[in-house]
Chains A and B, each alone.
Chain A
Amino acid sequence: MTEIGAASPILDASGVSKRFGAVVALNDASLQVASGEIVALMGANGAGKSTFVKILTGALRPDGGHVRIRGRDRIVASPAEARQSGLVPVYQEPSLIPDLDVADNLRLGRTPVEPVLHWIQELGLGGLRLDDMIGQLPLATLRILDLARALASKPDVLLLDEMTAALPTDLVERVLKVVRRQAEEGRSVIYISHRFAEIAELCDRATVLRDGATVGNVQIEPGVEERIVELMLGASMKPGETAKKKQAVRQDGATAPPRLRVKGLGAGAKLSDVSFEMGRGEVLGVVALEGQGQDELFEVLAGFQRPDAGTIEIDGQAVSFSHPADAIRAGHTLVPGNRADALLMQQSVRDNIALPFSARPKNWGRIAMRGEGERVANAIERLQIDTRAQGELRRLSGGNQQKVTIGRWIATGVETLLLFDPTRGIDVRTKRQIYPLVRDLAGQGASILFYTSELEEIQLACDRVVVIFGGKVFDIMDAAEADEQTLMRAAYGLTGKALPGAAEVRQG
């Protein structure tokens, strides 16, 4: 390693911009990392974090700005070149080949075996054998192995993306210790995490992204969490202008059993223990950072996946779904986050809305054309779907496509609607049409579980909100109290006033 003055950073990215078609993902992202420094890179969902990481690691090329390592301009065409230039990433999904064994994976990346074995020992995975097949190892092991491989190449800058997300507590401790030692030896670390506790323990500085731009650099010191949350949210906080409308709907909830009661639900590695109740005619918001178990929660409730633990009760009766059709029969319908998962893009609007009518084999016969036409027309009318291009769904705008995914369940009649980020990537006007629609459906007695990555929507559309952190319910509050700042704090596992019993979550 050559000595470079303390003033000049090892990694210097500034003014980085990137657009995908009309969408600006980054417009002015910057990040400086000095030698021996651990910098947290933070930002809310959709702030451009992952695009920035891809650019830093050479998986994407920036449209503007520059990335310099050790003062040299760096144009990286591939991850291999980024590695050679001294920046080594550990991605959230391990970059190991599932059908090769450990030794072959190391050979493939020209990684020397001895140092990897050393780091594996150091990180507490002594039992790993070189002829273990990658595909048969658990995720936590793979992430550690990926980290060991990165460390073995003696990087100048180590980029860790949610490194501790899938790890059990003892491994987390070891990883943090090893990372700290790296910094003491003069290497730099970019640390991406949703866990404030780790950032406070480990990092020197935090760089905050919002809407594709770097909006702040703060030294980590006690009480800095507030400042970071403010930076992530920006000045756009308007005090709860919409403490509104939720009248009448919930009074019957006191006596009758709730429409949906979930107890101790766990599935896969991410969802561990979620319980809540949702009444008839209630819109229950769900807020969580990416990967806290919300995907699994919705998949379980929609019958895509079976839970490992816990129970689901509908109107007081325990149910178990072994197929999405079971869930639909029980009145559970999912509007997935990715519209393409739910729609037949090459079919017409009408066919898409009518699809659930004929989902059951007993309806496979003749289609009642007139009845279907009426119901579809009603749904289109109600949703104000732009039907100029109705012959083929893929020619509709994203917002209109989203309205079709909701519209098909309106036409079928729905009891429990599971909306997974229904306003992701659609225009403001359509969003404004979707909130009243959600309220309308609730007014007719439907129960709606509404996950959103846009925190302001909680107050616009929901009655109450469940905050999930680390696979567990962190807090349940009334939407009226759930302004963006409160939600953001809770989503990061920071407590203002937590539920009793949430204490262990914060420690974990």
Chain B
Amino acid sequence: MKSVMRNGWIIGLLALLGLLLVATKVIQPNFGQSGLESLSRAALPFAFAAAAQVIVVVAGGIDLSIASMMAVASVTAAVMMDGGAVPAGLTVLVVLCLGALMGAINGSLIVLTRVPDIVVTLAMLFVWEGVALLILRAPGGGSAEWLRNIIVGGVAIPGLPPSATGWIPRSLLVLVICLAVIWVPLRRSRLGLAIYAIGSDQLAAFRSGVAVGRTRIAAYSVAGLFAAMGGLSLTMSTGIGEPIPGPYLLASVAAVVLGGVVLGGGRGGLLGPIIAVFVLRLVRMDLTLLSVDPNVTTIIEGSIMVVVVMIGGLLAVRSRRR
């Protein structure tokens, strides 16, 4: 009973995703392995941005600086790897640390100044944007070839026939591993509980002995880490660094909402928003395939969001009455 209630939203989203995949196949009969692969690769930065937003929103905050942090991570990686100046492995490590640091700075400012999350991260949106442009004035830099290959093509496992695993995009596997490595241990730790606790009821959390300030900083820090992964994925797939932040901020909030995470904090998981990212990407792809006017596309995307959240709310009310 409880697991159905908890997972109802995800089951609904998966059904929606399946429906959209079928629709795609109908619209474009030769949609197959390569279509799936490019969809997954395009969704990668959006998925990391959504993951970053999820953890902050669950902790009761919101981070408007995610896209800017991604830009900083992207240009830093591109500059470091340009011409093979720094080994790619080291670059990845440095950029991930940089992301966590940027997040920690966001969180510390919120805790120390007691200025609301939305104001601090709005300010940091501009700060990180400026930092990215200082590092790299125009799109450029480079990326190691083997890094790029990690997210291109299908999965090949030695010993298995390519037809068994080849249809799974590598980028999807990378996404799942990167998210799971952070999220699964976090959900099983007291820090994870504390993050849900401060988002749910800050006073009760304080009285239960949770260090509220430190937990909030940690949540923003993990968000920074995910944002750095998003920035890296941008550099990996394009081969260059892009100092101007992409459309990832509002997309991340959209995925969080569509993914069943309550904006007030304390409720929701990572799986829903990640599925929501794919749903939103697929909708856009289908409408493009149908050669719908791009302006109409955004109208439809917005409408889907409101309708889905409304239906979810109605179902929740009905199940409570019963």
**Cβ contact within 8 Å between B207 and A95:** yes
> In the assembled complex, how far is the CB of residue B8 from the closest CB belonging to chain A, in whole angstroms?
14
Roughly how many angstroms separate A91 CA and B203 CA in the complex, as a whole number? 11
Of B37-45, B137-145, B188-196, the one contacting chain A is B188-196
**Cβ contact within 8 Å between B190 and A107:** yes
**Cβ contact within 8 Å between B2 and A109:** no
B192-223 interface mask toward A, CB cutoff 8 Å, 1 = contact, 0 = none?
Answer: 01101101110111111111000000000000
**Cβ contact within 8 Å between A105 and B208:** yes
Roughly how many angstroms separate A80 CA and B214 CA in the complex, as a whole number? 14
* Closest A residue, CB atoms, query B5: A133
Roughly how many angstroms separate A469 CA and B267 CA in the complex, as a whole number? 38
Q: Is B230 an interface residue (CB 8 A)?
A: no
Number of chain B residues close to chain A: CB under 8 A: 20
> In the assembled complex, how far is the CB of residue A383 from the closest CB belonging to chain B, in whole angstroms?
37
In the complex, chain B residues whose CB is within 8 Å of the CB of A93: 203-204
In the complex, chain A residues whose CB is within 8 Å of the CB of B197: 97, 100, 108
**Cβ contact within 8 Å between B209 and A109:** yes
Number of chain A residues close to chain B: CB under 8 A: 22
Roughly how many angstroms separate A98 CA and B208 CA in the complex, as a whole number? 12
**Cβ contact within 8 Å between B205 and A97:** yes
Q: Is B61 an interface residue (CB 8 A)?
A: no
**Cβ contact within 8 Å between A97 and B201:** yes
In the complex, chain B residues whose CB is within 8 Å of the CB of A78: 206, 209, 211
> In the assembled complex, how far is the CB of residue B198 from the closest CB belonging to chain A, in whole angstroms?
9
In the complex, chain B residues whose CB is within 8 Å of the CB of A100: 193, 196-197, 200
**Cβ contact within 8 Å between B266 and A97:** yes
**Cβ contact within 8 Å between B267 and A95:** no
Q: Is A241 an interface residue (CB 8 A)?
A: no
> In the assembled complex, how far is the CB of residue A468 from the closest CB belonging to chain B, in whole angstroms?
28
A80-105 interface mask toward B, CB cutoff 8 Å, 1 = contact, 0 = none?
Answer: 10010000000101111111100011
* Closest B residue, CB atoms, query A95: B207
Roughly how many angstroms separate A92 CA and B262 CA in the complex, as a whole number? 27
**Cβ contact within 8 Å between A97 and B206:** no
**Cβ contact within 8 Å between A98 and B201:** yes
In the complex, chain A residues whose CB is within 8 Å of the CB of B204: 93-98
In the complex, chain B residues whose CB is within 8 Å of the CB of A109: 208-209
In the complex, chain B residues whose CB is within 8 Å of the CB of A83: 209
Residues of chain A in range 48-89 having any CB-CB distance to chain B below 8 Å = 59, 78-80, 83
Roughly how many angstroms separate A105 CA and B201 CA in the complex, as a whole number? 12
| Interface residue from B190, B203, B211, B266 paired with A99 (Cβ < 8 Å) | B266
> In the assembled complex, how far is the CB of residue B187 from the closest CB belonging to chain A, in whole angstroms?
10
**Cβ contact within 8 Å between B200 and A99:** yes
In the complex, chain B residues whose CB is within 8 Å of the CB of A110: 190, 209
Q: Is A131 an interface residue (CB 8 A)?
A: yes
Task: Decide yes or no: A95 and B208 within 8 Å by CB, A100-B193, A107-B190, A108-B194 being known contacts.
Answer: yes
In the complex, chain B residues whose CB is within 8 Å of the CB of A108: 190, 193-194, 197, 205, 208-210
**Cβ contact within 8 Å between A107 and B193:** yes
**Cβ contact within 8 Å between A131 and B193:** no
**Cβ contact within 8 Å between A99 and B267:** yes
> In the assembled complex, how far is the CB of residue B58 from the closest CB belonging to chain A, in whole angstroms?
9
In the complex, chain A residues whose CB is within 8 Å of the CB of B206: 78-79
Q: List 22 A-B contacts (CB under 8 A).
A: A59-B207, A79-B208, A80-B209, A80-B211, A91-B207, A93-B203, A93-B204, A95-B203, A96-B204, A97-B197, A97-B208, A98-B200, A98-B204, A99-B267, A100-B193, A108-B190, A108-B193, A108-B194, A108-B197, A108-B210, A109-B208, A109-B209
Please provide the 3 A-B residue pairs with the shortest distance between their CB atoms, ordered closest to farther: A80-B209, A95-B207, A99-B200
B contacts, CB < 8 Å to A: 2, 190, 193-194, 196-197, 199-201, 203-211, 266-267
